[in-house]
Amino acid sequence: MSLDFYSDDLAATEEFLNSAYTRVQIGHHGPHAVRTRIRREVLGPINFDQLEMGFDMAYDADPLGRVCLVTVHSGRIEENYHGFGPDTFVPGQTGLLTPDDLPYSGVIRTSRYDITMFDPEILNRVATSAGGDRVRVSGHRPVSTTAGHRLRRVLTHLQQLASDPDAANSPLTVTTASDYLAATVLATMPTTAEHEPSATDRHDAHPETVRRAIAYLESHLGDRIAITDVAAATFVTPRALQLAFRRHLNMTPLAYLQRLRLAAAHEQLSAALPGDGQTVATVAYRWGFTHPGRFATAYRRLYGRPPRQTLRG
């Protein structure tokens, strides 16, 4: 089964995106005329979409409900990540466009790119076959450069299978492909799956690792960072870093980073003076929260009141 869409109309493009993905609002940025081309190939429960946006398209979307991986071929995609702030994918890069359970927003800058979408239950089935909790992808970049190359090769191979009618109509191929994709994502992307840590990971998951990681996070609060950056600065693997935070702080590095950024925003809001031009939106953006509504929700959950109350003193 395949799908083709082409349009030079912004409203028609938004209507199609709403029907094919999730509820989304889009806007036209930049000098280029609207031009949208989307082709979809399907391999069982996996969708392989080839997209070409011939203009700068801003988007603000509801949760997709599916794991969505992206590979950029031209242009760039500027995505806003919950907790970690904005990040940019450029040609040759692959990663997570959006978590399955969170709203997402950003700008696609005249880009040609592929996305691969699948139900997160596929990850759960493979990761928890021996028992365990539900899993989710917990970071938006592969755990290493080598892992990124491996993930792109697998996605390209599966996309080729999806375009082959014989393969796409083979139940055995479809089932095997789903497990192959899930196993590859679990091996190449940061996830919450309970992999058995190596002896080195267990040894490195000590309080000193947490201390070094916190020092790095505190000095890079306004920067675009991923868990792999924190692990590299701490001289341990991402798995050891996650294990150290769970063992000593009972939270993930991502959750700790968000708490630090909320605290920095709280301090700035509390110190604001009347007439100095500070707004909740500008403070939120300063600390990596690009969606004011989501910032307000996280802030209220931590401090028990909306950020505008803190700003007004």
Element (H, E) at 100: none
Residue 292 phi/psi, 5-degree rounding, is -55, -35
**pLDDT of 160:** 94
Query: What percent of the chain is modeled with pLDDT above 70?
Result: 94
Q: Which of 176, 167, 149 is nearest to 71 (CA)?
A: 149
What does the pLDDT average to over 222-232?
A: 80
Cα angle vertex 255, ends 309, 63, to 5°? 80
Average per-residue pLDDT for the chain: 88
Mean pLDDT across the stretch 50-58? 96
Residue 85 or 235, more confident:
235
